[in-house]
Structure formats: structure tokens, C-alpha cells
Structure 1
Amino acid sequence: METNKSLRGIKIVKITIGLLFALVVLPSNLKAIAILLFGVAVLVNALQRPWHFDKRFFITNALLYIVIAITYLYSYDIDYGQRKLTQMSSLIVFPFVFAMLTKTESKEIFKNLTTYLWIYITGVFLFNVIPFIWFFATQYSFPEMMEHFATVLRVKMGKYSIHPIYLSMHCSIAILFSFYVLRELRSKIKIAAILGMDITLVLFLLLYAKKGPLIALIIVFSLFVVFQRKQKLLKPYLLAITTLIFLTIIIPKTRNKFVELLKIENIDKGEVTSTNIRYTIYDTAQRLIIQAPWAGYGIGDYNRELVKQYGQDGNQLLVEGKYNAHNQYFSLLLIGGIICLIVFLCTTGMNLIYAIRFNNQLLILLLIFYVIVMFTENILEREAGIIFFAFFLNFFSLKSLYLREEN
């Protein structure tokens, strides 16, 4: 049995997990400290009771990082490879730390799930609203904010800077979390508050005009309604979807992003749009993948080979921007070939199977959301993406883990 001292220690762990759900509002230099505090809290707690380490959990969720690390052995650019492995370290740190938690401790942690979701939703809401109000009040007119706010977030926020694609993902995930918070609410004031935050976050999503997170949100929202099996949700769902589509159509910036999909072509033949840039990148990446299909080019060289090919093709715009693959699946193939992609699909698939088996709905919808967004973004190679992906994957798979142990 776990000692009372250990159960007291889990209270500190719960506090540090709350801090991780608030990561989005922390500056870049404090994010690593928050993760370190979590790791130390779990380790100290683990040392106060009989040792527990779930090897199966660790291997399932850390195997991708291990395989990517092996590709470092045949990389030529050692420095770049080291930087990338450091950026991606969340893929092994979180599985290692969460594997030390016992079933009892995991169940105790999940008693605070609603509080954690509230922390994340509120944090994302504030991270969007406060900078908007600040820059509107001090530097820009409203039309200028509509046009340039996404750029402001990327270049004028110092240690809080974030690419709008990742903030769009945060907005979408916060809205997803709110669905589950709303199910538990009875207070009209709290319901109004979270609906108000949802509407605000949707408006910011439209302002950032990122197609991937918006499409992924619509899909997971639809699946959420299906999961609830309640006919009374059908009318609110149809109203929400209709309103979202209407706003997408009438807002020029967002509408134009989707109109790009009607005419997709290489940038040396057509307009330089985000869609055409991705199309050109994908064409280049596919040719490189065919040349090294099984083992790829290694974590140190994969992006250098891609940029090198841009130059050989005469795509100077892509060379200057040093564009990555903008598709996580292509990127994994470039890093470690088919083997690396299969490992990722197995990790995701096993977590999804257990999530379905034990009705772990939040994990199901999160995995589907990320799988969709990964078709247009390299989430696993930027700290802004990998930290939250690794944290959410390991945290929510804890529920599948302790339910599996009970059966």
C-alpha cells in the first residue's frame, strides 16, 4: 500500500500539473522550469513509496523519440541534430515522468480534471485577449489589428512570441476542452462565461485564418456531438456550424484562405499563396523521400536536404525561408524513413485503440485533432507544438492506463 506520506506528495504533483496546463501563458524561459518542477515533484513522490515504473507505458509513448535519436547516428550535421533532439525531448521526458505514477495516483490526479481544463481554457483566452487589447490601445488602429495581429504575435511579443498556427491550435483545443466542462456545469454564470470565451476564441481563430486547426475543430466538434448521443444537441450543433461557415465566408481574410484551395499549383507557375507554397514543398519532399525511403536522411540532415533541393529546383523563396516539410508525416519520412513513420502510427494507433476501448473521449478527440493538423504542420519539431502534444498525449493516456489495469 502507498504510504500517507506518498499521498501527501501527490498533492504537490497535482499543483505542478496545473502549472503545465497554464504553460501557454508562461514566457518561453519559464516553460522548461515548469516541466522540471513537475518532474522533480513526481520523482520525489515516487521515492517515498515502493518504486513503480510502467515500462509498457514508457515504451509506447517514448519509442518515437528513441527511433529519431537513432537516426542521429547517420547524420552529418551533428549540431543541428543535437538542437532538434533537444527541442523534441518532451517526447521522452513526459513518458518517463508519467510512467512513475501509480494507478491510485493517476485516479487522484484525474479528480482535478475539470479544474485543469478551466486553467487551460482561461489561459488561452487571456493569451489572445490581453495582447490584442494592449496593442490596440497603444500602437494600432482596429483595421490594422485585423490585418497585422497575427504578425504582431510572432515578432513583437518577446519571450511570449508565438506563431499564429500554434495559437490557433491552442484556441481549437481550448474550445474542445470547453465542451467537456460545459457538460458538468449547472451555474448559469459559469455557462455564460465559458460560452463567451468560446465565441471569443472562435473569432480569434477566424482572425488567424489557419485552415488546418479550423477544419480539425469542426471535425472533432462533430464527433463530440456524436459521442454524446443526445438529440437535443443537434440544433445547437447545426446552429454553431452554420454560423461558423457563414463567418468564414463573409470575412475576406479567412474566405481567401479557403479560396486558395480552388487553384493549387507550383509557386513557379502560379501565385505565392500559403497553399501553393505547401504544394511546392510537398512535391519536393516526395521526390526526396523516394530517394531514401527506408531510413531517411537523419535528424541532423533532413531539413538541410530539403532546402538543398529547393535550391536545385530554383525555388529561391523556399531557400531563403528554409521551409520545413509543413507535413508531419513527410517530415518523419525524411528523418527516419518508413520505419520512423510506422513507429509514430503505432504509438498513435495504440493510444487510440485503448482510448476507444475505455471510452477516453478527450484523448480520442485530441489524437484526431492532431492527426488532422499534422497534414499541414510539423508539430513535433517546434517547441510550441511538441511540448503540448507530448504533455496532452501522456496526461490523457493515463486514464486509459489505470482503466486498463482495472480490467
Structure 2
Amino acid sequence: MNNILPKIKTFLLHKNDFYFILLFISLFIKEHHIRSIFLIIISAIKIYTYNYKNRIHLRIDKHFYIFSLFFLYSIISILWSQYKESGITDIFERIIFIPVIIYIFSETKSINIFKVITILINIWCLIGLTSLINLDLSNSTSDFQTNQILRDLLSNELGEHPIYIGILITFGIIISFFLALKDSKLWGISIILPIVTLIIDAPKTSFIILFTITPILFLYKYSVKKIFLLSLSLFIVLASIIYFVPTLNERFIREANRKESWQLPKGKFYNSTNVRLALWKCAIDVSTSNNIDFLIGTGSGSEIPILRSCYLEYDTSAFNSKSTFYCHNQYLSILLINGIIGVSFFIIWLSSLLYKFIKDKNHLGISIFILIVFSMFTESLFSHQTGCIYIGIFLASIINFKND
């Protein structure tokens, strides 16, 4: 037995790419408890084969220290939270995945990692699209209803909320663009299935992110003039898709043109836009209600119950006593829970990441950074285990990427 363990360790020692692929595969596990166990096992194996001498630089990276300060402050805030049990759950079943994944899995990745990731995401999209083949939409009475039916079926098949499906697919499209520019144009084919899935999933933020990010990726290969022309062409293509695809037209154009969408929800009229407006207003009102809450926050675990006490005052059927809404904005969520002190740690952390990517001329890193930062404007990623794992894996994949 004493001879077997060293041999196993030697065999596993140089399997960093393999571990990361296993880590990425965990994203496709529908049951979150099984996913957590799987992540713990992979992390434990990785720690067992840790090469500390080669990883010492990660301990002194400023971005990791700064996030550690934010994480520590989140733990401390449990002390003044009225919902301590929920706070412990939020931190040790969700947020903890971010620093753990970044620390353990952040070695420099080979380009082969991104190729495997692209293939996995395409298979995932194919599974989702296959479930829609025999779908009968003849009873649908509106584009809105059609969109909801398609999104719900896709969500049930893939085991994730449409928002998180959109984020992961957007990540996949970015990687496909990167491979097409850096490795072979044939990788451009791998964009097709994710784009089709994204059109069906119809996440508004993802389309905005794609248009913002693509010009940055073009810097890998093209001059400024070509980037402008390509970006203009991309804008025309995306705008045409949004305008001519009825379900996207409903979510982007018709919804935006309704005056009620930009007012607080009232009665039976509500949608994803004005519900978010109500939640954001609640978060701001509670956070600024007294100086103490604004400074140190209401404490970890308090987001859902405190928001509920606010939004139930609105005269709308969008909310009820059993609702479990988060802020749907990571920045306001942190302001509510951790106050301006927590927001300061968080913004400094994001700034340190951006500085590192710019300094390293890591265009892929900047693109993934924008994906994360923009997604946080419409979703509280830290409030969901999936969101935290996404952030950890996305950053671990590119934080030490070398731009050849």
C-alpha cells in the first residue's frame, strides 16, 4: 500500500488540464448537491497532488488577497446579521467556491483546454436543442408565450435557469471566437449551436455583452479599421436577429417600448424589467435608510427576508409572502449585505483583476471579465451556487493565460 500511493500521486501530478476539464464538466450536473460533492472530490485530489513550489506566486497575487479580505468581511458580517443561519449557508455553500476554485485551479492553461470546453458546450447546446424538436407550439397565442414555453423547456432539459444558461453559452461563444482567431477559422463553426441556443434562451444581457466583447477579441488579429468594420457588421447581424426573430423582438423591442416596463410593477402587469426596478429600489431604500446599514450592511444572509419586507408593500401580484427574490444586481446586493465597506473591497478586487488583464495584454481575460461584470448588473451571481462556480471557473481558466 505504501508503494501504491506514491505511484498514484506521481501519475496524477501532471494532470492539471484533466482536473480542470473535470471541474468544468461539473457545470452540467443538474443536482447541485451532487455537483458540490463532485467539486470537493476533484479539489481534494488536486490538493493531494499540489506542487506548492510552482504555485507560490498565486499566494501573493493582489487580486486573491483582496477577494480574501472581501470574503473575510462577509464572514464577519454574520455577527450583526439577524439571519445568521442563512448567512453561514450563503458563504460556505456558495461564495466559498470562488476563492477555492481560483486558488486550486489557476495554473496557466493550454489552448487545448479551450478546445475541450468548446466541444463540451456544443454538446450541451445540442442536448437542449434536441429536446425542442418535437415541440408543438400551435396552441401558443403570442410571441411572449412562445418565448416562455421555449425557455422553460430548455431550462428543464439543461437543468439551469435561463439566465445562467445564457451566461455559460456566452462564455462558450467567446471561447469559440478566440479559437477561430488564434488557432483555426474552422472553430468558427462551433459558434453556430451556441448562437441558436442563445436565440431560443433570449437573455437580453448576453446579446449586449457579445457586442461589447467581440471588438476586444478582434484585437488578437485585426487592425483598428478592420475591427470597426467587423464590429459594425456584427451589430447589424445582431440587430437584425433581434428585430426579425419574433421571440427576441418581444423581449427586446416591444417590452422596452411599453411605458409600464420602466415603472414599478402594479397590479397584474409586470415583467423582468420592472420587477428588477422594484428590487433595485428596495435594495437602495433599505441600504440608505440609516448610516449604520449603509456603512457595514445588514449582514450575510439578510438579502431575501429584508427585500421581502420591502417589496410586499407594492400593489402587484408579482410578489407574495412566499417570494424569494434576490436583488438581481450583484453590486446592490453587496451594498445591502456588506455596506459601502464591502462594496469598496469588491470594486478594488475587480479593479485589480482588470489591471492584471490589461498589463498582461490578455484580451481573452478582459473579455471574460466584461462578461462577469456586465452579468452582475442584472443578476446576483453570489446568491446562487451556480453563479459562484461560474465566476471561479471562468477566472481560473484565464487569470494566468499567456497572450502569445
Q: TM-score, normalised by structure 1?
A: 0.83
SS of alignment partner, residue 176 of structure 2: helix
Partners of 1:49 and 1:301 lie apart in 2 by 41
Is this contact kept in 2: 1:16–1:37, CA < 8 A? no
2: distance between equivalents of 1:377 and 1:179? 25
Rounded to whole Å, the distance in 1 between the matches of 2:9 and 2:363 is 30
Note if 1:93 corresponds to 2:100.
yes
- Structure-2 residue corresponding to 1:216: 209
Q: Does 1:196 align with 2:203?
A: no
Q: 2: CA distance between counterparts of 1:51 and 1:324?
A: 37
- Structure 1 Cα separation of the partners of residues 208 and 268 of structure 2: 25
1:52–1:6 Cα change, 3 Å: farther
Query: Partner residue of 1:17?
Result: 20
Matched position secondary structure for 1:46: coil
Give the match for residue 248 of structure 1.
Answer: 242
Q: Structure 1, residues 267-294: CA drift from partner, whole Å, max 9, x if none?
A: 1279312111111221222111112211
Letter in 1 for 2:15: I
Partners of 1:79 and 1:307 in 2: CA distance: 17
Tell me how large the CA RMSD over aligned residues is. Answer: 3.0
Mark the CA change 1:50 to 1:276 in structure 2 (over 3 Å): closer, same or farther: closer
Alignment of 1:291-306 (within 5 A): 291=289, 292-306=293-307
**Match of residue 46 from structure 1:** 50
CA distance in 2, matches of 1:142, 1:33: 42
In the TM superposition, what whole-angstrom CA distance separates every residue of 1:372-400 from its partner, at most 9, and x where no partner exists? 12111111211121101122223422347
Residues 317, 324 of structure 1: alpha-carbon distance in 2 compared, 3 angstrom cutoff? same
Cα distance, 1:330 vs. partner? Answer: 0.5
- 1:66-120 Cα offsets, whole Å, 9 max, x none, are 221211111122222222111222123224424xx7xxxx34xx2x2x2221222
| CA positional deviation for 1:11 | 2.0
The residue aligned with 1:352 is: 354
Distance 2:179 2:392 in 1: 22
| 1:56 correspondence with 2:74 | no
Alpha-carbon separation, structure 2, partners of 1:91 and 1:370? 13
User: What is residue 3 of structure 2 aligned with on the other side?
Assistant: none
Contact 2:284/2:336 (CA < 8 Å) preserved in 1? Answer: no
Letter in 2 for 1:94: I
TM-fit CA distance, 1:339: 0.9
Distance in 2, matches of 1:269 and 1:146, equals: 23
SS at match of 1:318: coil
Comparing 75-84 with 228-237, greater Cα deviation is found at: 228-237
333, 339, 361: which one aligns with 1:337: 339
Cα 1:269–1:286 change in 2 (3 A) is farther
How much has 1:199 moved relative to structure 2?
2.4
Once the two structures are aligned, what percentage of the paired residues are identical? Answer: 19
**Residue 128 of structure 1: which of 110, 125, 129 is its match?**
125
- List aligned pairs for 1:69-218, cutoff 5 A: 69-85=75-91, 86-98=93-105, 106-107=107-108, 110=109, 112=110, 114-137=111-134, 140=136, 147-154=148-155, 156-157=156-157, 160-186=158-184, 191-192=185-186, 194-218=187-211
Q: Per the alignment, in what secondary structure is the counterpart of residue 331 of structure 1? A: helix
What is the match of residue 328 of structure 2? 326
1:233 shift after superposition: 5.3
Say whether residues 1:238 and 2:238 are aligned partners. no
- Helix, strand or coil at the partner of 2:377: coil
- CA distance in 1: counterparts of 2:55 and 2:243, whole angstroms: 57
Cα 1:396/1:10, change in 2 over 3 Å: farther
Write the mapping of 1:359-374 to structure 2, written as runs, cut at 5 A: 359-374=361-376
* Contact 1:6/1:48 (<8 A) preserved: no
Against the structure 1 CA distance between its residues 346 and 399, is the aligned structure 2 distance closer, same or farther, given a 3 Å change threshold? Answer: same
Q: Which residue is equivalent to 1:272?
A: 270
CA apart distance, 1:297 = 0.9
For residues 150-176 of structure 1, give each alpha carbon's deviation from its aligned partner in whole angstroms, at most 9, with x where no partner exists. 11233x34xx51001111111111111
- Seen in structure 2, the aligned counterparts of structure 1 residues 359 and 48 have a Cα distance that, compared at 3 Å, is closer
Moved more, 5-14 or 312-321: 5-14
Aligned twin of 2:4:
none
- C-alpha separation between the residues in 1 aligned to 2:150 and 2:169? 15
- CA spacing shift, 1:302–1:167, aligned 2, 3 Å: same
Over 3 Å counting, the alpha-carbon distance change for 1:228 and 1:380 in structure 2 is farther
Structure 1: state its 5+ residue gaps. none
Aligned partner of residue 270 in structure 2, secondary structure: coil
Q: Secondary structure at the match of 2:266?
A: coil
2:166, 2:203 within 8 Å by CA — same for their partners in 1? yes
- The Cα offsets for residues 122-154 of structure 1, whole Å up to 9 and x where unpaired, read as 2222222213313534x6459877651211233
Distance 2:234 2:355 in 1: 30
> Structure 1 residues 327 and 21, CA, compared in 2 at 3 Å: closer, same or farther?
same
State the secondary structure of the residue aligned to 2:319: helix
How many Å separate the matches in 2 of 1:163 and 1:142? Answer: 25
SS at match of 2:378: coil
Equivalenced residues, count? 381
Give, as a single letter, the amino acid of the residue that structure 1 aligns with 2:130. I
